Chain A
Amino acid sequence: MDLTLNTRTEGQHTVLAVAGEVDVYTAPALRDRIADLLDKGQQRLVIDLGGVEFLDSTGLGVLVAGLNRAREVGGSLSLVCPQERVLKLFRITGLDEVFTVHSTVDDALADVQAS
């Protein structure tokens, strides 16, 4: 599977670094990891898409489902996406209005800590 998922803790937040290709085949692994983190009470998630080489609609759908689930449990889910080619997909689908998207992990952490 051409997808790697790494988590680390930053204060009260969990940063999930996603690298590789998120598509119809690999997206379920991302969905399961997000669900697992939320189930374990790690409800403040920052998903770092900096290493993503390819993202399709299934991947976008998994992120939307993750955001909804995080909100349901009183948590948060924000995105880090420095790449224009990936950002474009969020704009095309209007999802840039749904997610809080930062260009660096530091920005995302500063923002969520301020709020």
Chain B
Amino acid sequence: MAGVTAGTEVTVTLRLPANAAHVRTARLIAAAMARRCGISEGLLDEVRLAVGEACARAVRQHERNRCLDPITVEFAESKRFRVAVVDRARPGAGIRAGSGARVGGAEVPPWTDPSGDALGLALLSAVVQDLKVAPEDGGAGTRVSMSWPVG
């Protein structure tokens, strides 16, 4: 699988429609994978929250950019349990007014509200000690990588 750090083994790759309804699916699978990898019960809430936030962020990015590609969630187990959430939306594009964030001149739904990203990133960085946010494919998307100790 392209983009995976050498030396780690991808055990499961999920491809999800960039739709808010599927973020829960990603959380459930993340928790199941984390358990399988031997993550302590105390960290499961953090894994669920972090994967949910990263996926919600990816879905928002795709909605803003009207990007119809799926988002990808990669799970790998090595010395740590690694999760990467990859979106295909060009970061920074389409966030301004007129991008479709306003529907019929009415209120902006919270998932397209930039402040939603701020809160989400605050939560992500608070619960994940090993967090990396980097451009993917030369800037055509973003990879949010995180990991937790196993056992």
A residues touching B (Cβ–Cβ < 8 Å)?
2, 21, 23-25, 27-28, 31, 54, 56-58, 60-62, 65, 85, 89, 92-93
Contacts and interface: CB of A to CB of B under 8 A. Distances in A.
B95 interface: no
Nearest to A55: B49
A58 B111 contact: yes
A69 to B, nearest CB: 10
Given A54-B48, A61-B119, A25 B109 contact: no
A57 B119 contact: yes
B109 A57 contact: no
Nearest to B119: A57
Contacts of B111: 24, 27-28, 58
B89 interface: no
B74 interface: no
B123 A56 contact: yes
A61 B123 contact: no
A46 to B, nearest CB: 21
Interface string B49-60: 100110110011
B24 A25 contact: yes
A72 to B, nearest CB: 13
A60 B126 CA distance: 15
Nearest to A56: B52
Nearest to A95: B119
B122 A93 contact: yes
B123 A23 contact: no
Given A23-B56, A54-B48, A62 B110 contact: yes
B91 interface: no
Contact of A28 (B27, B49, B55, B110): B110
B86 to A, nearest CB: 17
Given A56-B56, A58-B110, A61-B116, A2 B127 contact: no
Given A24-B20, A24-B59, 9 more contacts: A2-B24, A23-B27, A25-B21, A25-B24, A54-B27, A57-B119, A60-B119, A61-B116, A93-B123
A23 B51 CA distance: 12
Nearest to B48: A54
22 contacts: A23-B20, A23-B27, A23-B52, A23-B56, A24-B20, A24-B52, A24-B59, A25-B23, A27-B111, A28-B111, A54-B27, A56-B49, A56-B53, A56-B56, A57-B116, A57-B123, A58-B110, A58-B116, A61-B116, A65-B110, A92-B126, A93-B123
